[in-house]
Every structure is written in structure tokens, then in C-alpha cells.
Amino acid sequence: MSNLFILRNYAQKAPSTIPSSILFSSSARSITIYDRIDGLESLKTLLTHDKESAKDVLSALNEDAQGVKLEIEQEMQKRYGFKWSIWIGFHGAPSMQTKKHYNSFHPKLGFFLHIDDVLSWFDSEPSYYNEMVKLDQKAYEKLLKEDLVCWKCEAQMKNIPTLKAHLQEEWDKVSKREKGRTERKRKLEEKQTSEIGDHSMDQHAEKKVKHDDEYTS
């Protein structure tokens, strides 16, 4: 069964009938499912339709995606105590599960098309728009053959195991830094709260002394 058929099958169902293990969220315009499919092939098809209609669909998807992004960020904050970058976009061409599959999600390589960039095509010169919506599969597939490079520090990796180990190190550094920042913020807020409390107590004591002096006089 093709990925496109699977997605169409979900799209034609009432969201309430889709198992919670598959459905993340839904709106009147879209459904969001957990990623279990190796790349989507619908962007090029969508861009072959009327320009304004395509833009309306992408804008609606972007709006719903921002809501999903917020939910994910809240879960990050709840589970890890901080949040990190979330990219919303499309593959420039269908990708396969090979060692280069990582490149299909690299945020700077060019194969992964950020939705904000795609939406900017609609406001560009017609010639540029017409060129970009071609989504030349061969041109995008060349990007998958680029060397494995860490998206964060741009260090080259010789293979996937090395890349995974490196990304774990990067994650550990980010986690340590963000948790340290959260802890410093917590301590600062506690100190400020304590200082405010001490200041209030001092003011109360001063008023009491003044009142006692007046009563004595």
C-alpha cells in the first residue's frame, strides 16, 4: 500500500475514527498524525493547482501546524524543562530510508523546504515562483548525496553511527546548558521574592515602630 493511499485514507475518515496512536490532532482544515510514513509526495501536486488555492491550503496548514508546534513545545517544557527548535516544512522530493535520509531533514541543506520559505514563493516575482514550484526531483535528490554534516555545528561525519553519537553529545550539551539556565532563573526569582518579602517586613516594622512612638508620645 503506497504512502499516498494511506494518507488519503486517513484524510477521508472522520478524525474520531482514527486511533489515538496515529492521530495527534485535527481541525476543520487538516489532520495531524504521528510520523510513520517515509516522506510525503503531495507538495508538488498541490503546487500544480491554482496559485491562490494552493496558497490558501498552505496558509491553513501553517496555521494549524503552529498550533501543533505550541502543543509540542508545551510538552517539551513539561518533560524536559526547556524547548528547542521545531521545523515545519516539506521534502523537496520523495526520500528513502538510506543513510542519506538524515539529509532530507537537515534544516540548512535545501532538501527540507521550510513552510515559511514555500509561502514566500507566492509573493515573489512570477518567474521565480514558476521556477521554484517545478520542484525538480533530480536536483533535490543530488542534495541527499551530500556528506553527512551535523546540522548544529556543521562538523562532517563519516557514517550514521558516528552522527548519532555526535548528535547525542550535542543534545547532552544543550540539555545541560538549558537546565542550568532554568536553575539559575529559579534561584534568581527565589532571591527576588525573598528580597521583596524582607523589604515588606522592614516596612511593616518601621510602621510599627513609628506607631509605637506616636502612642508613647
Looking at residues 52-66, what average pLDDT do you find? 87
Looking at residues 193-211, what average pLDDT do you find? 63
CA 46 → CA 50, 88, 115, 135, distances in Å? 9, 17, 13, 11
With a cut of 80, say whether residue 69 has pLDDT above it: yes
Q: Does 216 or 66 have the greater pLDDT score? A: 66
Instruction: Tell me, yes or no, whether 136 lies in a domain.
Output: yes
Q: How far apart are CA 133 and CA 67, in angstroms?
A: 26
Q: How far apart are CA 85 and CA 119, in angstroms?
A: 20
- The pLDDT, as a whole number, for residue 113 is 93
Looking at residues 39-64, what average pLDDT do you find? 80
Q: Are residues 138 and 45 in the same domain?
A: yes
Q: Are residues 183 and 141 in the same domain?
A: no
With a cut of 50, say whether residue 86 has pLDDT above it: yes
Instruction: Tell me, yes or no, whether 151 lies in a domain.
Output: no
Q: Give 168's pLDDT tier (boundaries 50, 70, 90).
A: very high
Q: Classify residue 2 as exposed, middle or buried by CB count within 10 Å of its CB (0-12, 13-18, 19+).
A: exposed
Ramachandran region, residue 114 (left: φ > 0; alpha: ψ -120 to 50; beta: rest): beta
- The pLDDT, as a whole number, for residue 115 is 92
Q: Are residues 67 and 114 in the same domain?
A: yes
Looking at residues 44-50, what average pLDDT do you find? 82
Q: Are residues 9 and 70 in the same domain?
A: no
Cell 535520509 belongs to which residue? 101
Q: Are residues 67 and 97 in the same domain?
A: yes
Three-state SS for 5?
A: helix
Instruction: Tell me, yes or no, whether 10 lies in a domain.
Output: yes
Q: Are residues 10 and 107 in the same domain?
A: no
**Domain C-terminal end among 125, 146, 167:** 146
Instruction: Tell me, yes or no, whether 112 lies in a domain.
Output: yes
Q: Which of 3-17, 36-50, 134-148 has the highest mean pLDDT?
A: 134-148
pLDDT one-digit tens code per residue, 88-110? 888 887 665 556 788 888 999 99
Q: Are residues 126 and 211 in the same domain?
A: no
Q: Are residues 190 and 177 in the same domain?
A: yes
Handedness of CA 76, 80, 85, 90 (dihedral sign): negative
Instruction: Tell me, yes or no, whether 132 lies in a domain.
Output: yes
Q: Are residues 181 and 101 in the same domain?
A: no
Domain hosting residue 20, numbered range: 1-37
Query: How many domains does the chain fold into?
Result: 3
Q: Are residues 65 and 33 in the same domain?
A: no
Q: Are residues 119 and 186 in the same domain?
A: no
Mean pLDDT, the chain, whole residue set: 79
Q: Give 12's pLDDT tier (boundaries 50, 70, 90).
A: low
Q: Are residues 164 and 111 in the same domain?
A: no
With a cut of 60, say whether residue 18 has pLDDT above it: yes
- For the record, the C-alpha cell of 12 comes out as 477521508
Three-state SS for 26?
A: strand
With a cut of 60, say whether residue 38 has pLDDT above it: no
Do 150 and 105 meet the contact criterion of CB atoms below 8 Å apart? no
Q: How far apart are CA 68 and CA 137, in angstroms?
A: 29
Q: Do the bridges between strand 148-149 and strand 112-114 make them parallel or antiparallel, or are there none, so unpaired?
A: unpaired
- For the record, the C-alpha cell of 205 comes out as 516594622
